[in-house]
Structure 1
Amino acid sequence: MEYSGDNINDDTRKTRSDGAQSRERLLLAAQRLFAEQGFAPTSTREIALAAGTNVASISYYFGDKAGLYRAAFRELAPCPRKDVAAFTDPAASLRESLEAFYAMLLGQLKQGDLQRLSMRLWFREMLEPTGLWLDEIDNGIRPAHAGLVQVLGRHLGSAAPADDVARLAFAVVGMAIHLMISRDVVEQLTPQLLADGAAIDTWTARLVAYAEAMVHAEKARMEAAAAPKQSQPRKNKA
């Protein structure tokens, strides 16, 4: 039986598409169940049933339950490792670096329910650690923090104390993290502030401006602290 090249390509594309869909369904089902129940109580059979596939597909795509959990956790990481270079370009201005940094973090808010699921899974891992949280700190958060410290240090000057730069970096990222973890509160109190993509873009622009002002204020503080103090003239006694 002969097959045309077009048929072979169509079959290949179909197989790849079906495989990608199966893997995606497994990831989504695992993310939801792991976030709701934690790692230990969630069975692979339960995940496969929720995904509409068989248990063997978990082994095929992820190796085992632990591999599926790692994939589910890292797929939703709020600080993607591959994006760190986007905001650490030494040729970029402070504003450009901050824009890239906040776009990386707050862009996830546009994913809606998937971002909420991400936060729940991260909270679950922090409360019931499996070891992935410490791994993410070392291999995900640490490089991002180091990149942000590098950016801030470049604009504060080489004489800036390391602890002050690190403290400022935590404050800069804290504004975005607070918004991400308190999304439910914001939507209850002021729903228009997270109503759509344009509203989230406004958040990004505002946080860039706030962070830029913080950097300038910290630089002014350090310069004032480093300046020699002028002695006050003595008053003549009458």
Structure 2
Amino acid sequence: MFNEQSATVSEPNSGTEKRLLEAAGEIFAEYGYRAATVRQICEKAGANIAAVNYHFGDKEGLYMAVLRSVPDAHAEKYPADYGPGTAPEQKLSAYIQSLLHRVFDEGRPGWHTKIMAREMIEPTRALDTLVEEIARPFHQELASITRELLDSAATEEAVRLCTLSILSQCVYYHHARSVLSRLYPKRKYGPNDIPRLAEHITAFSLAALKEFAQQNGGISE
């Protein structure tokens, strides 16, 4: 994992911090963590090189802050809106709608998707931190909903596979958009399709989960 100082960066509270985060996001996305330089970032941000150490500790700290800012911004903008006592079917619908809104968010900077994809392809030590702080809780939330909808005898593997299947349905529209545009050139999926896609994915997933529940988990360890 990144060092302790790098892992405790606070929310940006100054114009310089915000400029550094935005500039760093673009530079890291374009060149990758290893090739990008603090000098490049500071020149783009119009900031003194010492500002990186002052606000983020070092290059690692800045990179970690940039990576954290991406999912944090999406989670704040599109929360899965359900409270205590909500039926699991409604929780699943809310979760899927939230995820699709994040997938189709056209208002996010272009580097958001690029930098996260680069981190997956060329992982740094930051990936461990991202998994523990962001990806694992996000997966566990859906796994908890999935477990509620499956029979109590469902195995952990059944819960895991069903959870990943639901996630895959949602993110496919983004990850495979270049392929989809060629397969269906007259049909482009976008934000306006979210209600219909959410309804379809929810209904499709609930039907599958119901079948698994009837099979007492269906998949053995």
What is the TM-score with the length of structure 1 in the denominator?
Answer: 0.72
Supply the RMSD in Å over aligned alpha carbons. Answer: 3.1
- Single out whichever of 53-62 and 73-82 deviates more from structure 2: 73-82
Shift of 1:221: 4.3
Q: Aligned in 2, Cα 1:217/1:192: closer, same or farther, shift over 3 Å?
A: closer
Partner of 1:153: 147
Aligned counterpart in structure 2 of residue 57 of structure 1, from 28, 51, 54? 51
Q: What secondary structure does 1:76 align onto?
A: helix
Aligned counterpart in structure 1 of residue 203 of structure 2, from 193, 208, 212? 212
- Distance, in Å, in 1 between the alignment partners of 2:83 and 2:149 is 13
Letter in 2 for 1:193: Y
Aligned residues: 203
Residues 143-197 of structure 1 deviation map (CA, whole Å, 9 limit, x = unaligned) = 2212211111112231222211211100101122222323455567357532xx4
Q: Is 1:76 matched with 2:89? A: no
Q: Is 1:193 matched with 2:189? A: yes
> After the TM superposition, which segments of 4 or more aligned residues of structure 1 sit over 6 Å from their partners?
78-85
Aligned counterpart in structure 1 of residue 105 of structure 2, from 103, 107, 110? 110
Shift of 1:40: 1.5
Bigger-Rg structure (1/2): 1
Shift of 1:118: 1.8
- Distance, in Å, in 1 between the alignment partners of 2:100 and 2:53 is 33
Q: Aligned in 2, Cα 1:113/1:154: closer, same or farther, shift over 3 Å?
A: closer
- Distance, in Å, in 1 between the alignment partners of 2:197 and 2:78 is 21
Summarize the alignment of residues 14-25 of structure 1 with structure 2, pairs less than 5 Å apart: 20-25=14-19
Partner of 1:175: 169
2:52–2:59 contact (8 Å) kept in structure 1: yes
Q: Is 1:203 matched with 2:197? A: no
Q: Is 1:100 matched with 2:94? A: yes
Partner of 2:4: none
2:89–2:149 contact (8 Å) kept in structure 1: no
Q: What secondary structure does 1:110 align onto?
A: coil
Q: Percent identity?
A: 25
Q: Aligned in 2, Cα 1:27/1:71: closer, same or farther, shift over 3 Å?
A: same
- Distance, in Å, in 1 between the alignment partners of 2:187 and 2:41 is 33
2:99–2:170 contact (8 Å) kept in structure 1: yes
For structure 1, which runs of at least 5 residues remain unmatched after alignment?
Answer: 1-17, 227-238
Q: Aligned in 2, Cα 1:105/1:22: closer, same or farther, shift over 3 Å?
A: farther
For structure 2, which runs of at least 5 residues remain unmatched after alignment?
Answer: 1-11
Residues 72-106 of structure 1 deviation map (CA, whole Å, 9 limit, x = unaligned) = 11111289678999467551223431233234323
Letter in 2 for 1:20: S
Q: Aligned in 2, Cα 1:74/1:113: closer, same or farther, shift over 3 Å?
A: same
Partner of 2:214: 223
2:81–2:94 contact (8 Å) kept in structure 1: yes
Q: What secondary structure does 2:124 align onto?
A: coil
- Distance, in Å, in 1 between the alignment partners of 2:72 and 2:165 is 17
- Single out whichever of 183-192 and 164-173 deviates more from structure 2: 183-192
- Single out whichever of 160-169 and 65-74 deviates more from structure 2: 160-169
- Distance, in Å, in 2 between the alignment partners of 1:31 and 1:184 is 23
Shift of 1:23: 1.7
